[in-house]
Structure 1
Amino acid sequence: MDNLIMSSATVGIVISLLAYEIGLAAQRKWKLALLNPLLISIAIVIAFLVVFHVDYESYNMSAKYLSYLLTPATVSLAIPLYLQLDLLKKNIGAIFGGVISGVIASLGTVLVMSIVFGLSHKEYVTMLPKSITTAIGMGISEELGGYVTISVAVIIITGVLGNMFAEYICKLFRIKSPISRGLAIGTASHAVGTARAMELGEVEGAMSSLAIVVCGLCTVIGASIFSYLW
């Protein structure tokens, strides 16, 4: 099986897409937030690699073309934002203030937890880009000297958790404004969370899309500053 995947440019892609489709089918049938398609597909792919003794590098070489779609997929999130441009203009101060506050809170939380758990500097900077899209987070982690592969895993986990629990957290804290909900989800859980925000409404999806961009830019600057604090 390992040789088959290494010799094929599509087997890894097929396995990934099938695993995701299984996750989508499970979510449609039982309609539970815990049955997140991305989380299920990750579990299925891991199980496949373990059962058939497939080396991760072999799988990655065969599925790497999916990664090339990350950037255009993120850019396409500008479409719902454009459709809500008037709303953005009316609330621009509150929007940017909220996103910047979220970025500082994210970086500050990583700093505090790193101090509490005694993480090394390399481990610390690995966690800093946890709440931004993978395309940007990988670059930040590499630039700061972190473990890029772990950064990717942390970013995905953050996004999946945001996708699963964002709606419940908004209800818990009685956040009812569509703008506030969208900004909170996008700032905390990037593109994966934004997928959930779009299900909640057009405004939530647009604001979450905006938060991804602003959060990414602010984190590039903020992570560089915070990297000197531990």
Structure 2
Amino acid sequence: MTSAVDSLLEVARSPLGLLGITLGGYQAGRWLQRRTGEHALAQPVLVAIAIAGVAIELLDVDYLDYRSATEMIAFWLGPATVALAIPLHKQYDRLKGFVVPLVVAVLLGAVASITSAVFLARWLGADRALQETLSAKAATTPVAIGLTQSLGGIPPLAAVFAITIGIFGAIAGPTTLHLLRIRDRRARGLALGAVSHGVGASRMLREHETEGAFAGLSMGLSALAISLLLPLLALWLW
């Protein structure tokens, strides 16, 4: 009996086992989402993180080993992000007369995101490294990691902040927009994509195709805007 248990644990600790746990966690999140009628709190990414976190803790797996085992998932995030351009192409006509407001909103949103994070962290007593780490929170995770590293912040923590913001935005964003009486589907998608990147875009795609399309566009433009503006604002902020 002990031998069988040891064998199962060894399989679970293997790269294939860890990959299966991660994918199984996400599918469990999808199942929970369907069973709860698409409840905002039933985010598949959040469920997958919880299940994977508990699993690697119980299995005593080092995070670097887990990260290496699930590299395939990280690789496919790139093509999945690019695929968000497909619904945008179908909404091309909705861009007419909206390009200038869109660009202005993205630029102002990027500046507001960077400066508000830095000043709030500074007001709460955070050191410079944590301020630099928080400054790129609204960018996609790979961009946030790269920018934080170039500034001298803490890249792993930047990834945590970016993912946390994405999940929180996907949970609370649509309700917040509704309470603010923002009805334009382009504006709704633009707002959530700017702060919640991939997770938010995925949520908005389930809300409406137009919202998902503009969330995907906003995600890419916001990452670009933050990449360009953060090095310039850093000269003033620090």
TM over 0.5: yes
Q: 2:29 aligns with which of 12, 23, 33?
A: 23
> Which residue of 169, 184, 208 maps to 2:215?
208
- Measured on the aligned residues, the alpha-carbon RMSD in Å equals 1.7
For 2:35, the aligned partner's letter is K
Q: 2:173 aligns with which of 166, 172, 179?
A: 166
Displacement of 1:5 in angstroms is 6.1
Matched, 1:51 2:58: yes
Residues 121-147 of structure 1, C-alpha deviations (whole Å, 9 max, x = no match): 211111122112122222212222221
Q: Which structure 2 residues correspond to residues 82-101 of structure 1 after superposition, within 5 A? A: 82-101=89-108
Distance 1:96 1:130 in 2: 20
Q: Percent identity between the aligned chains?
A: 30
Residues 15 and 45 of structure 1 are in contact (CA less than 8 Å); yes or no, is this contact kept in structure 2? yes
Match of 1:226 in 2: 233
Is the contact between residue 70 and residue 135 of structure 1 (CA under 8 Å) also seen in structure 2?
no
Alpha-carbon deviation of 1:3? 6.1
Summarize the alignment of residues 118-157 of structure 1 with structure 2, pairs less than 5 Å apart: 118-157=125-164
Relative contact order higher in (CA < 8 Å, ≥ 6 apart): 1
Change (3 A) 1:5 1:222: farther
* 2:200 matches 1:190: no
Helix, strand or coil for the counterpart of 2:169? helix
The structural deviation recorded for 1:197 is 1.1
* Number of the residue aligned with 1:114: 121
Question: Take 1:109 and 1:101, find their aligned partners in 2: how far apart are those partners?
Answer: 12
Task: Give the unaligned 5+ runs of structure 1.
Answer: none
* Residue in structure 1 matched with residue 3 of structure 2 by the alignment: none
Rg comparison, structure with higher value: 2
3-state SS of 2:96 partner: helix
Aligned residues: 229
Task: Return closer, same or farther for 1:49/1:191 CA change in 2, 3 Å cut-off.
Answer: same
